[in-house]
Structure 1
Amino acid sequence: MEPGALLYDPATNKVGEYQDKSGPYALLRPVGGGREWQADPGSLRPATDQERLSAGVRAANSRARTDAPFLVLDAPRADAGCATCAELSELRSTARAERDHSAETDTNVLLRKHRSEAHPA
């Protein structure tokens, strides 16, 4: 077994990346990183194309939920009585209702910029 090979472990029903041997066990790490586990080398087999793809998608989905670009920052508040703040806040609410995360982010950027220029602390 070569380090980096993707193997299926029937005991855990998971695909792992072969790392090394530890005594009588093979050490596998989840695709995309994570905590290693020990597996019986006699029960391991090369992962099928479908298993490899599923493991890769699972890793990508995990990254999408946890990587910094996808973290949500606190939304800037609109100043009461400011028409521009109210307009941007309404645009943001519409984007949220439509689940348009890109437009929501854009309005947050515009509102932060407006607040820093028109309402300095």
Structure 2
Amino acid sequence: MTQQAEEQPPGQGTLVYDLVTRKVGAYQDKTGPYVMLRPVGGGREWQADPARIRPATAAERLSAEVRAANDRAAQGAVIAPGADLSRPPAPVPGCATCAELAGQREAAQAEFDRSKETDANVLMRQHQRREHCG
């Protein structure tokens, strides 16, 4: 389903899927007849037809976030000192994002999908570094 002109536009930063470019982008704003989207993880914005975007699915969001994490790692992102990468990260009690990522990890484990399990662990570590450290 595509976004209808009479609907409210997504909030700034909301991840949407551009049906034309087949990419997930963070909604920025509307300029003239187009909306501006930015790649997950940053980069050059692009214009999209508002009738040809839709909310990104959970799988599309996860894929885009993992791709951005891999890009940052390839550019030399630093692992936190003392991080034990041999064990999966534990969710922080009371944190909705940690709980959601732990749920994604558990679903991947139930499906025996080690790739998705690893993706959820990577995203949880990044989230915890951003939101729960120093």
Common fold by TM > 0.5: yes
Structure with bigger gyration radius: 1
Structure 2, unaligned stretches of length 5 or more?
A: 1-9, 80-134
Determine if the alignment matches structure 1 residue 19 to structure 2 residue 28: yes
Identity fraction in percent:
66
Determine if the alignment matches structure 1 residue 53 to structure 2 residue 62: yes
Per the alignment, in what secondary structure is the counterpart of residue 52 of structure 1? helix
**With structure 1 as the length reference, what TM-score do the two structures score?**
0.55
d(CA) in 2 for partners of 1:33, 1:3? 14
Determine if the alignment matches structure 1 residue 64 to structure 2 residue 62: no
**With structure 2 as the length reference, what TM-score do the two structures score?**
0.50
- Root mean square deviation, CA, Å: 1.3
Change (3 A) 1:46 1:68: closer
Per the alignment, in what secondary structure is the counterpart of residue 33 of structure 1? coil
d(CA) in 2 for partners of 1:48, 1:14? 12
Per the alignment, in what secondary structure is the counterpart of residue 32 of structure 1? coil
Residues 1-121 of structure 1: pairs in structure 2 closer than 5 A: 1-67=10-76, 69=78
Per the alignment, in what secondary structure is the counterpart of residue 3 of structure 1? coil
Relative CO higher for 1 or 2, CA cutoff 8 Å, sep ≥ 6?
Answer: 2
d(CA) in 2 for partners of 1:22, 1:68? 34
Structure 1, unaligned stretches of length 5 or more?
A: 71-121
d(CA) in 1 for partners of 2:46, 2:12? 14
